[in-house]
Amino acid sequence: MSEDVRVINEILKIERKLEEIEHKLEELIEASELYGVVKLSEESLREFLESEPDLYSYEDLKVRFK
């Protein structure tokens, strides 16, 4: 019987580790999707933002850091 208990405990440990891996994988997929959305936004706005005039010039600065 103790062998059966040991096997069951090992199976439970494996299940817990698999759940941890699944959670981390879901986080990675979510981060990857978010990165994709950000890159798509950057690309789609690039042409628009490049055609817009700058609001402030270098001369407009009151404090300049070197």
Domain limits of the chain?
3-50
Coil, helix or strand at residue 22 = helix
Q: What is the three-class DSSP state of 32?
A: helix
Q: What is the mean pLDDT of residues 30-39?
A: 94
- Average pLDDT score over the chain: 89
Within 1-66, residue ranges assigned H as helices are 2-51
pLDDT, residue 19, reads 98
Backbone angles phi, psi at 57, to 5 degrees: -105, 175
- Longest distance between any two alpha carbons in the chain, whole Å: 83
**Prediction pTM value:** 0.57
pLDDT band at 18 (very low <50, low <70, confident <90, very high): very high
Q: 15-19, 38-42, 46-50: which has the highest mean pLDDT?
A: 15-19
